[in-house]
Structure 1
Amino acid sequence: MRTTIKATLLAAMVGISAAEVEAADYKQNPFTLTYGGAITKNEPGKVNIRPVTYTLNGLEIVANVYTPANYDAGKKYHAVVVAHPNGGVKEQVAGLYAQRLAEQGYITIAADAAYQGASGGQPRNVDKPAYRIEDIHGMADFIARYPGVDSAHLGLLGICGGGGYSLAAAKTDKRFKSIATVSMFNSGRVRRNGYGDSQLDTVQQRLEQASAARAQEAAGGEILYAGAANLTDEQIAKLPFDLYRQGYEYYWKTHAHPNSTFKYTMSSLLDLMRFDATDQIELIQQPLLMIAGSKADSLYMTEDAFAKATGTKDKELFKIEGATHIETYWVPAYVDAAMGKLTAFYARTL
């Protein structure tokens, strides 16, 4: 089933305050949240945010749990795990969707990936698929035991890179009764083939670089990083893809957070380049909703995964008309469109 909706920014802005439309300055938010309309204080009877920590495989994981209005630990609530994008942290788009879902009555959790954000792990910014998938299992472990959570009704939402890893986690973790993605990004495919499969002719060369970086690490040498760049506005404007141009704007300017970074250890590419989010995707038998912008240059990844997800008969690809990849992170009209689908999907499947 494929559906397309039209949403305009103007219509979404009607009745919305400037504070809700604009990004939040993390320095002005007590929870360092960066998104418009973010919680600034916990108040009785409203959605609250509860910073938590827990241990996963010997590492401290730092997360935010969002509880719905009038939360009562003695009652039972459905819950949703939210996985953040590559380079993102829980205070950005993952937090926005977690808060919006809590407004719909769910208990939600958004955690920083191990080795990233405020979570533990050395060296910093290791980005291995196995770790990111384990992070999702770990969020499920924690939230299933959170007061008030009915663990038999657990959903999963993955955004960008977190979407690809959510697909991978849900293949085998049947605690997740339904899975949704927003602007899914298949990290393995992109690291291997380049964005838009634009670097197929340099795969072996980049594998050699990653292998050398691992050898250097193993010998106690300097840890090399990929993806680290401090670009000028002029350089950003010349980037070939909307995702990269708007991504720099989002992560470095409008929704910047000090724990968020594009860089990752070069040696991580040994794991990333042999990973693909669609491998064995037919193991997903749960209901699946995949959301992406109709103008996203990353749309090909969602469409590819959706076509290969043959194990579930309950699946939908929902395109938000006019939206690019990054615009689904913050533009009110597009977030509202995504939330409209997510709300109905989780209400039906959880």
Structure 2
Amino acid sequence: MDNQTIPTSDPGLDRRDLLKLTGVSLAAVGVASLVATPAAAQYSAAWDKTFPKSDLVDHRKVSFANRLGIILVADLYVPKGNDPAGRHPALVVGHPFGSVKEQTAGIYAQTMAERGFITLAHDASFNGESGGQPHFIASPDVFVEDFSAAVDFLGLDPRVDRSRIGVIGVCASGGFALAAAQIDPRMRAVATVSMYDMGGAKWAWGGEPMSAEKRQAALTAMAEQRWEEFAGGETRYGALPMTLTDETDAITREFFDYYRTPRGAHPRSTSAISVTSDPSFFHFRPFDHLEAISPRPVLLVAGENAHSLFFSEQAFAKAAEPRELHLVPGAGHVDLYDRVDLIPWDKLQSFFDQHLA
């Protein structure tokens, strides 16, 4: 693997050797060419998603502002035949880090809409079609706010029962969703899938703590990069590599198979995030107050073979009742992004049917 790239679109994968100290330019990771020449995914000009359009669901694009004034763009999915005079349960769906609503989040939103929920899949601030400048940066505080803003939007839809709004967070959005639910009681039930704790990964990966010396070295390098960029120098980014080599590790290959192939590639999903975004995650600890969600329920879904399983196990240990850890047999981390035959749809539906009744 190229030592000047972060091994995945999820910056939780530190590799324990400070690959993030280097960073790369957008041009170096091919972001410009990816945007200009999208991979041959399953979308068309009329339907820009990486998955087929359902005949059972009405879809439209919407926009709304978060508390910081950033305009978020989202896809709203409504079951066909939905009683417009009724009040229905709704779900906010968050995408993986570096992803966009046209990928994994859209699959979950559309499928759960087929199962009776009004769903909203949004692009996080600074990503996809959403606003926030500059693009390709990360802020856990803002990403958490985005979930509450999505609840704001759904709660004013006359078709939605605002007392029955739940949340699904996939990968990094699982951690953001848990953090949001701790401070926003309007989120009545929370499910995470292949969840990442982005902050915890900065301190320990796979249970192996980063030494204080390495942590300080990483922060020092990122601080130096801030000076360079403030002085007009080149912004540096971490991103999933554009090609594989014999040295590419298994986790990188797993993400590559989704984000860099027709399976899941989308022109707005570059996976590039500025290196100077990283320090904000060092004090993002979404598990520290998980008990605050109770008595609202938490469902943690993970593949039994997922490299990220330990995050869900940690969250389960810290959460208060009602809580559940649901393991998907034979599944890895990225499998639950789009392998519809592995994603436990019945489990997700029964969870929300019960707790948004």
- Give the TM-score category using the shorter length: 0.7 to 0.9
What does residue range 181-330 of structure 1 map to in structure 2 within 5 Å?
181-194=192-205, 197=208, 200=211, 202-227=214-239, 229-232=241-244, 234-235=245-246, 238-242=247-251, 244-253=252-261, 254-285=263-294, 286-310=296-320, 313-330=321-338
- The aligned residue for residue 30 of structure 1 is 46
1:220-240: per-residue Cα shift (whole Å, max 9, x none)? 4332212353233x35xx433
Distance 2:209 2:293 in 1: 29
- The aligned residue for residue 342 of structure 1 is 348
Residue of 104, 112, 115 corresponding to 2:126: 115
SS of the equivalent of 1:332 reads coil
Name stretches of at least 5 consecutive residues in structure 1 with no aligned partner.
1-22
Counterparts in 2 of 1:24 and 1:344: CA distance versus 1, 3 Å = farther
* Kept in 1: contact 2:170–2:193 (CA 8 A): yes
- The aligned residue for residue 156 of structure 1 is 167
* Kept in 2: contact 1:82–1:158 (CA 8 A): yes
What does residue range 63-78 of structure 1 map to in structure 2 within 5 Å?
63-78=74-89
* Kept in 2: contact 1:65–1:107 (CA 8 A): yes
- The aligned residue for residue 8 of structure 1 is none
What does residue range 143-182 of structure 1 map to in structure 2 within 5 Å?
143-182=154-193
* Kept in 2: contact 1:59–1:120 (CA 8 A): yes
- The aligned residue for residue 39 of structure 1 is 53
Distance 2:242 2:96 in 1: 20
Counterparts in 2 of 1:231 and 1:199: CA distance versus 1, 3 Å = farther
Distance 1:118 1:197 in 2: 37
Q: Give the aligned residue type for 2:192.
A: T
1:182-201: per-residue Cα shift (whole Å, max 9, x none)? 01011112244346647546
Q: Percent identity?
A: 36
The range that moved more, 203-212 or 189-198, is: 189-198
What does residue range 103-142 of structure 1 map to in structure 2 within 5 Å?
103-142=114-153
Q: Normalization by structure 2: what TM-score?
A: 0.83
User: Deviation of residue 270 (structure 1)?
Assistant: 1.5
* Kept in 2: contact 1:24–1:33 (CA 8 A): no
User: Deviation of residue 329 (structure 1)?
Assistant: 1.2
Q: Give the aligned residue type for 2:41.
A: D
Distance 1:277 1:167 in 2: 7
Distance 1:189 1:196 in 2: 10
- The aligned residue for residue 36 of structure 2 is none
* Kept in 2: contact 1:69–1:105 (CA 8 A): no
Counterparts in 2 of 1:180 and 1:32: CA distance versus 1, 3 Å = same
User: Deviation of residue 29 (structure 1)?
Assistant: 5.7
1:73-128: per-residue Cα shift (whole Å, max 9, x none)? 32211000001110110011100010111011110000000100111111111111
- The aligned residue for residue 71 of structure 2 is 60
Name stretches of at least 5 consecutive residues in structure 2 with no aligned partner.
1-38
- The aligned residue for residue 79 of structure 1 is 90
User: Deviation of residue 280 (structure 1)?
Assistant: 1.4
**Number of residue-to-residue matches in the alignment:** 314
Pick the structure with more helix per residue: 1
Distance 2:331 2:122 in 1: 26
The range that moved more, 166-175 or 259-268, is: 259-268
Query: RMSD of the TM alignment (CA)?
Result: 2.0
SS of the equivalent of 2:60 reads strand
